[in-house]
């Protein structure tokens, strides 16, 4: 997994592709470690850069069908690659909130190199949208680990571009944030 992450981010950086690590690895970085079997990225790549990027990834040991991957990216706005059996998922930031998550990502140290990781707030937005059981656990962990510095106003503003503040997912987040604040 470590090598897959290093090779993927090296290729993305080399081609000046805007990306953010998201998903389980990013949630582990921003809160507490947890098991994950894949690597997830939010990626904004110009169409003209995609073929040389994919060729570079193949040279680095990624398994993919270039034409199928381009078709998947163009038509479905996501793509799946593999690196020695490790799944790498790409997601295109189609909605404004996802683009803002990408823009808000920060460069962070990771083992022997650095990479762009979505902020805790950005991860919460992505996980509120998906809201599977593991996403809900990740949200709880992200709130617990970042409650003292969480920009709840930013989360609310971005969420309102997707759903209302009375959405059950947002109400659950607000409940968690209320529970995580120290009592006087």
CATH of the domain at 97: 3.30.460
Q: Is a pLDDT exceeding 50 seen at residue 184?
A: no
> Which pLDDT belongs to residue 180?
55
- Cα–Cα separations (whole angstroms), residue 169 to 20, 41, 123, 140: 23, 23, 14, 12
Residue 91 has pLDDT above 70, yes or no: yes
How far are the Cα atoms of 27, 30, 41, 65, 93 from residue 128, in angstroms, in the given order?
Answer: 13, 16, 17, 32, 15
Q: How many domains does the chain have?
A: 1
Q: Where in the sequence is the domain holding 175, given as residue range(s)?
A: 2-180
pLDDT the model gives residue 112 = 86
Q: Is residue 23 very low, low, confident or very high in pLDDT (cuts 50, 70, 90)?
A: very high
Across the chain, mean pLDDT equals: 95
| 131 SS3 class | coil
Full strand arrangement of the beta sheet holding 113-117:
62-63, 78-83, 86-91, 38-44, 18-22, 113-117, 106-110
Which pair of structure tokens corresponds to residue 133? 């059981």
- The pLDDT of residue 111 is 84
Question: What's the pLDDT tens digit per position in 99-143?
Answer: 999 999 999 998 888 999 999 999 999 999 999 999 999 999 999
């Amino acid at each position: 997994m470590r090598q897959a992450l290093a090779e993927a981010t090296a290729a993305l950086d080399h081609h000046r592709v805007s990306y953010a690590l998201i998903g389980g690895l990013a949630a582990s970085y921003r809160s507490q470690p947890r098991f994950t079997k894949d690597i997830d990225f939010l990626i904004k790549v110009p169409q003209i850069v995609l073929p040389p990027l994919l060729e570079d990834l193949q040279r680095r040991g990624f398994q993919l069908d270039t034409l199928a991957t381009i078709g998947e990216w163009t038509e479905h706005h996501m793509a799946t690659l593999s690196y020695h059996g490790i799944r790498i998922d790409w997601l295109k930031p189609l909605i404004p909130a996802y683009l803002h998550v990408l823009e808000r990502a920060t460069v962070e140290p990771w083992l022997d190199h650095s990479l762009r990781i979505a902020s805790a707030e950005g991860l919460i937005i992505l996980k509120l949208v998906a809201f599977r059981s593991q996403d809900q656990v990740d949200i709880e962990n992200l709130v617990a680990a970042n409650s003292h510095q969480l920009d709840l106003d930013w989360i609310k503003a971005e969420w309102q571009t997707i759903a209302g503040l009375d959405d059950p997912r947002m109400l659950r987040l607000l409940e968690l944030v209320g529970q995580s604040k120290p009592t006087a």
